[in-house]
Amino acid sequence: MCGIAGFFDASLEESSRRQVMENMLEAIAHRGPDARDFRMYGPLALGHNRLSIIDLSEEANQPMERDGYSLIFNGEVYNYVEIREELHALGRRFQTSSDTEVVLAAYREWGEACVERFVGMWAFALWDGPSQKLFCSRDRFGIKPFYYIRQGARLYFASEAKALKRCPLFSAALNPSQVARYLQLGWMSYQEETFYSDVLQLPAAHNLIWQEGNLHTRPYWDVPTGRRIGLSFPEARELFRERFYDSIRLHLRSDVEVGGCLSGGIDSSSIVSVVGATHPELAFHTFTIYYEGQRGMDERSFARQVGAKYPNLIAHEYQPREEDIAGCFEHFLWAQDFPPAGSSPFSQYFVMQLARQHGMKVMLDGQGSDEYLIGYLRSFYRLIGQALPGFGAFSIWKDHVRRESYSLAEAAKRFGKGAASWIMDEQALAELEYHHLLPFMPLDRKAPFALARNGRDKVDNFLYHLLFHTELPSLLHYEDRNSMAFSIESRVPFLDHRLVELAFSLPTDYKAHQGITKHILRESLREELPEEIYARKDKKGFVSPGEVQWLRGPLRFLLDLPFEPIEGFDTRKANQIIERYKQGDNTQAKLIWRLALLNYWRTKPSAS
């Protein structure tokens, strides 16, 4: 894991290019404290901050140059060993044991199609000297970030927006569409858009080519949502288990120690349990954050079940104190680049802080499973809607109600939302939410997003957008920023694309069965998981008490700042909502958090 920065700007003198590059790299020094270097090729500059994970030698530092090609690379290609063997058989020779050199050699052998062979996470820029072409790429799910600004024949790019603030093209002009999506839906970005009008991001599974002042982006992969494979459930279960085991095997490849986040939920517990089962000789450190006395926010009892089953695990637990919340807030917000939409990322920040205090440099985390294995309970609205008007919808609804022990009123509400999903597509449902919950925007304003049909059915379409538009991009943003704030590489084994492709090729009831979420994951790992976690029916997520307890306590100062006007928003209504919250009304606590964080981020330069 590292930080990359670069630009193509013929208008700058050489001394200015050097100074700009040094400033950009300094802004993201936390991403790679082990080495720093840059190269200039005429108007092109490539810079790199290194966090040494694979091949710790200086020979693996970057930019890495070979015969007119130069690469800066952030991430990991986990199957680099297998690719290196294939390239070696084709006559390629290697000077290091790094995956960086494998990426460089793979491009030289297969060109832009090389990324289709990678299993991993990446954002890189590769200068093809012979073709005078800059080739950039971002991994299939956007685990690693890539931001850029382009004006005419000038291009600047970096791992984080804070580096672009050091470049001559940066403008702090806000993107009102993204501000609206953030306040209303909690999205941290959308496709190529960010909070800044002029700062774009390369979408997941896209390549960017810059040649002779022209910029082109194009996709190289997509989830195959239109096909089903004819496997019985036992066959699918064993195939999923095999691929999950292989993903864990690849994600453990490291020349430094690897640890694991452990919340007590099924996702992180699955990862840690497989590590414990397959590596009983390994002293594997796990890290858990809890809030004692907070209902639903202290899951140590579940996390400890994993530790009890696998004695090679070394557990570390910590409860953030009020002084931690206040003392770390500025650093937390600075690390995010943009205002986080909820308080849960702050808890994840403390997980990574705890891991770094115990010497971790690589962590495994459970992001991604909910989005394609039907982990969110709101998925059942689409399951019910997809089965309507047939009798199967009532069976799905009944199983869901029984599993979650809903009251009659709640059960009726759930069926009503399922019926809405039958009538409306994802775009209409999202627009309904968008216009319903934002009381200080004009209701006739067009929703600034388009959720096109990208699935075989309603459920696949919903899961597809969770992965690429509505849910996962924000979670991966937090994952990257929180880990890199402490110079930690965070790896997400559930986002091995081979697992995702398999899941989308399976029947829906293999993933949600008789009201049970993530059915195939539970059954695939039933032997490894503690019984209490295998049988868990509640879906907590990574919750925190921030929207109420912290805003009324150590972060109270956020509400005392006057709300700065935003063009197109009704500032008077925003202030009324904030005032009602101050008087004890918690009904819109999430919106209050977003308003407060957005306002502070805009008005305090140190936070942005």
Reported pTM: 0.96
Taking only Cα atoms into account, the Rg of the chain, rounded to an integer number of angstroms, comes to 24
Q: Running DSSP on this structure, what letter comes out for residue 447? A: P
Amino acid at 460: D
pLDDT score, position 544: 80
pLDDT score, position 539: 61
Contacts of residue 105, defined as CB under 8 A and 6 or more positions apart, other chains included, come to 66, 84, 87, 92, 94
Run of H or E residues at 561 = none
- The residue ranges of the chain whose pLDDT is under 70 are 1, 294-296, 437-444, 538-543, 605-608
Q: Could you give the C-alpha distances from 345 to 329, 352, 367, in angstroms and in order?
A: 11, 11, 13
Residue (of 465, 437, 470, 265) closest to 347 by Cα position: 265
The region, left, alpha or beta by phi > 0 then psi within -120 to 50, assigned to residue 73 is beta
Which letter, b or e, does each residue of 535-566 get, where b requires 16 or more Cβ atoms within 10 Å of its Cβ? ebeeeeebbbbbbebbbbebbeebbeeebeeb
- The correct answer on CATH 1.10.3720.10 for the domain covering 233-372+471-534 is no
Amino acid at 390: G
Distance CA 129, CA 527 (A): 53
Could you give the maximum distance between any two Cα atoms of the chain, in Å?
73
Which letter, b or e, does each residue of 390-408 get, where b requires 16 or more Cβ atoms within 10 Å of its Cβ? eeebeebbebbbeebeeee
Reduced to 3 states (helix: H, G, I; strand: E, B; else coil), residue 528 is: coil
Q: Cis check for the bond before 168: say yes or no (omega within 30 of 0).
A: no
Q: Which residue has the tokens 């058989």?
A: 89
pLDDT score, position 228: 82
Run of H or E residues at 16 = helix 14-27
Reduced to 3 states (helix: H, G, I; strand: E, B; else coil), residue 536 is: coil
- Is residue 69 within 8 Å of residue 127, measured between CB atoms? yes
- Is residue 599 within 8 Å of residue 576, measured between CB atoms? no
Superfamily of structural domain 2-219: Aminohydrolase, N-terminal nucleophile (Ntn) domain (3.60.20.10)
pLDDT score, position 295: 61
Count Cβ atoms below 10 Å from residue 442 Cβ, excluding itself. Answer: 11
